[in-house]
Chain A
């Protein structure tokens, strides 16, 4: 589904990704871990199409398409979803209105008829249950005055509405207490299917107790330096990142 080959990216003069290689097949869950500043969030941003970053080399293939050629909105319509680490507050735009616009734009891109108000509401009611989010929250301005947990639940709710092929969760666990973490993770798990892939970006192993990955990769200095299964995450939890740093210092 997703093939990242030798991806390099920079922001300003600063090179952040130094040749990432990663293949994600349909239905798989990949975790990307790594110390702060290793380039995890940059990878998520580049995949979603944030313009602040310049791709300086490599390629990304998404279901046979050159992902890097597409605008952020086309990537979304093709089935990429980024759950933001810091979801932005947008006063004056309600989640409901914004999501209806988004969903129908995506449907238009795919040649589907738009959902009318009744159909949309029905879908919304059904998906709200995935993350136990309240309707009153959704009629308020997007994320404005939401708690950290509410913002993250709103991200996963949007994901449930837009039904992406590839979901990228960027530090979705940050700032969440254990109960909120469980609700968010359950939402993600309900959306798992043989057709849908997930990339979970996280600093801690904690989230992976709830969203169990098929593969775990360690990102360090803009490269994937180690790949394994969920046991690798346990090892990182136990030993921290220092041994990864040490190992790679020797290599360099």
Chain B
């Protein structure tokens, strides 16, 4: 008899075997501290295994169909410039970097910002040449002890982007990272790893865009670490427009120092199975963190957003707004944790999650989770899940707008509150159009 979770174990074992086989090919490198870290991450992954729905954090997100699929974790891509046509974001200026199946593609990319303003490099190069940087920052923010996917990414990740903004520099041009999974000929898995280090009083706007090519299954397990020094400002957008057979599991870990500002917006336009973890550690005073999200699952899509805002020190402010429009048999999950630690007096933390459920087959699970250990704080949370506002619908109809169009207009307006936060105009315009298309405008 095959145990129900046999494919969980099989999938895990294949990865562990692959790691060991790789390890044997290494020479002196296996003794480096990075390799020790990877080995420790692999052991953690081996111990944790893939989470089942019995795991509290994975209660509504079932991995079993993903784990039944075979994936090629080392797939090449023959992607040519002409293949990018269908993926292009109009009017994109600035730094645009392409990663295909997790690997940097200099031939498709352009870096326009001067190196005195910002260093933008493939992480693979930094791993080879800057062991000190890796030692200081890599895996120092995204903890893998309790997260099998972060552990797996840490064990395997070889490429992604490394960005360092020196103290006092404002990066004039945005940095757009495009992660393309090329699943045109087979099932493909990629594990991008990004490390972003923003110096004191520096400023940068960046976006991660995830796309799938082809009809085979695609697995993306991505980790981004962002370290923000005091007085620095970061605008960060994660944009997902992946295929119905795509599985996206991603963690973004942000660490903020005194008086820093972080604004993160996550928009999931399409994607068969999506799990985003956005974790903010406010390890400084007078920090500001804004977290916004938009998700539009329909058909059989599943979008799970987990957020964590950890107020570790006093006097900081966080504000969170996630919005969802669910249709067909689409499912959504929002789990928003806010920790206010005993020292974090005068914390202001707000959270709101608003959902519109358009069809009887769609569903939304929301779970705000506030753990407050300080007594002089202002915290609030609210979630709403309902239908479209009938009064507003009637108002629009009474002005001559047909009902279906009025519905689309209202849904679009609902979504626009999140999209309008995005400060990279071509990304915002692209999302406006993609969201309108999905909502039937």
Contact = CB atoms under 8 A, between A and B. Distances in A.
A193 interface: no
A206 interface: no
6 closest A-B pairs by beta carbon, nearest first, are: A92-B413, A76-B400, A72-B397, A102-B399, A106-B400, A92-B416
B403 interface: yes
Interface string B408-421: 01101111110000
Contacts, number: 74
Contact of A98 (B409, B415, B416): B409
Given A50-B394, A91-B417, A93-B409, A71 B403 contact: yes
B130 interface: no
Nearest to B419: A92
A186 interface: no
5 contacts: A49-B397, A73-B401, A73-B402, A76-B399, A158-B399
Chain B interface size, under 10 / 10 to 19 / 20 to 34 / 35 or more: 20 to 34
B400 A91 contact: no
Interface of A: 48-51, 71-73, 75-77, 81-82, 84, 87-88, 90-93, 98-99, 101-103, 105-106, 109, 141, 158, 162
Given A88-B391, A90-B395, A92-B416, A109 B410 contact: no
Interface core residue of A51, A72, A99 (most chain B CB under 10 Å): A72
Given A72-B394, A87-B395, A90-B395, A109 B400 contact: yes
A91 B402 CA distance: 19
Given A73-B398, A93-B413, A101-B409, 7 more contacts: A49-B398, A84-B398, A88-B391, A88-B392, A91-B417, A99-B399, A102-B401
B63 interface: no
Contacts of B394: 50-51, 72
A106 B399 CA distance: 8
Interface of B: 389-392, 394-403, 405-406, 409-410, 412-417
A55 to B, nearest CB: 16
Contacts of B406: 73
The interface residues of chain B, by DSSP majority, are classed as helix
Contacts of A82: 398
A103 B401 CA distance: 8
Nearest to B397: A72
A99 B401 CA distance: 9
Contacts of A106: 400
Contacts of A48: 398
A105 B410 contact: no
A77 B400 CA distance: 6
B12 to A, nearest CB: 45
Nearest to A106: B400
A76 B392 CA distance: 15
Nearest to B404: A73
A46 to B, nearest CB: 12
A105 B405 contact: yes
Nearest to B420: A92
Contact of B400 (A84, A90, A93, A162): A162
Contacts of A93: 409-410, 413
A77 B401 CA distance: 9
A164 to B, nearest CB: 10
A251 to B, nearest CB: 36
Contacts of B413: 90-93, 141
Interface core residue of B390, B398, B403 (most chain A CB under 10 Å): B398
Contacts of A98: 396, 399, 401, 409
Contact of B399 (A50, A91, A109, A162): A162
B402 A105 contact: yes
Interface core residue of B400, B401, B410 (most chain A CB under 10 Å): B400
A99 B398 CA distance: 12
A203 B415 CA distance: 39
A3 to B, nearest CB: 21
A82 B414 CA distance: 25
Contact of A73 (B389, B392, B403, B416): B403
A206 B57 CA distance: 63
Nearest to B396: A98
A140 to B, nearest CB: 13
Contacts of A91: 413-414, 417
Contacts of A158: 399
Contacts of B409: 93, 98, 101
A105 B402 CA distance: 8
Nearest to A45: B394
A192 B416 CA distance: 38
Contact of A105 (B391, B400, B416): B400
Contacts of B401: 73, 98, 101-102, 105
A71 B397 contact: yes
A194 B46 CA distance: 84
A73 B400 CA distance: 4
Nearest to B415: A92
B16 to A, nearest CB: 49
B400 A92 contact: no
Interface core residue of A51, A93, A105, A106 (most chain B CB under 10 Å): A93
Contacts of B415: 92
A19 to B, nearest CB: 25
Contacts of B397: 49, 71-73, 76
Contact of A92 (B399, B405, B417): B417
A76 B401 CA distance: 9
Contacts of B389: 88
